[in-house]
Amino acid sequence: MKKYLYSLRTDLKFSEPAQVHTFLLRATPFRTMSQEAMRASLTCSPSCVLSPYKDGFGNVVHAGYIREKHSQFVFCSTGEIAIDSYVKDTSEPAPYYLYNYPLTKMDEQLRAYFEDNVPSGNVDEVVNFWLTRISCDFRYEKGVTTTKTTASEAWAIGCGVCQDYSHILISILRAQGIPCRYIAGLLVGEGATHAWVEYYDGKYWVGVDPTHNSICNDSYMKLSQGPDFSACSLEKGVFLGGGEQFMFTKSALIEL
């Protein structure tokens, strides 16, 4: 088990004032047997009452509402967390972790790649095969995809970021009948948020990082999980006005 201090700050700026702003935040640690928040704080500016609840995927969500006009919205999540990756999640996978959705659905090009390389072996061997293949055949590059880019679109481009790596791996594993889920969270160090994948091996869930071609360990802190990014976004909201939006996120996970 390791203990960390974590911090996450997101600034959402509007080119024109926004108002009647209703939002949902998924910015506090996921509650699981392998990680426990020793203390946790979530604040936002402009300040408002944040009402916590759990969504259908088990994520801690805070709902808020700001009526007055504002040109910037900021939320900060800080605290201390203990992580022990040796403690496994043995929960049965929900049926929706077997099916591809808009962000992970295969087109003809990605399906052809999958069908040309389908491996044999047990679940762990299959996952390790795809981790290696994707790391060889897909390249990391910022600025070429967005949060709306699908697995198939990213594959056609040939490069992307951690969200794209995760969507591509999920698409392929589900096509091979392996239940898996998208994970959003923090990786040890300072920078932005990270994304990886958990698959069910028949006994428990195993975390893998397709961006780094590795198995997840105590250096990964989970914020949220779901079928794809759309269920795990840090912030989702609706408002009046606002014009163009610009989002900046900075995070840190520092071992004690």
Instruction: Dump the DSSP string for 156-175.
Output: HHTEE-HHHHHHHHHHHHHH
Predicted pLDDT at 62: 98
Nearest to 235 by CA among 67, 62, 35, 58: 62
Other beta carbons within 10 Å of 247:
12
pLDDT of 190:
85
The neighbour count for residue 141, using CB atoms within 10 Å, is 13
Can you give the residue ranges of every domain in the chain? 2-85+233-255, 95-231
CATH number, domain 2-85+233-255? 2.60.40.2250
| Per-residue confidence (pLDDT) for residue 104, from 0 to 100 | 98
Looking at residue 33, its pLDDT comes to: 87
Across the chain, mean pLDDT equals 96
Overall fold of domain 95-231:
C8orf32 fold (3.10.620)
Give 116-143 pLDDT, tens digit per residue: 999 999 999 999 999 999 999 999 999 9
Per-residue model confidence (pLDDT) at position 205: 97
pLDDT tens track for 150-170: 999 999 999 999 999 999 999
- Supply the pTM of this predicted model: 0.96
Residues (pLDDT < 70) of the chain are none
- Predicted confidence at residue 194, as pLDDT, reads 97
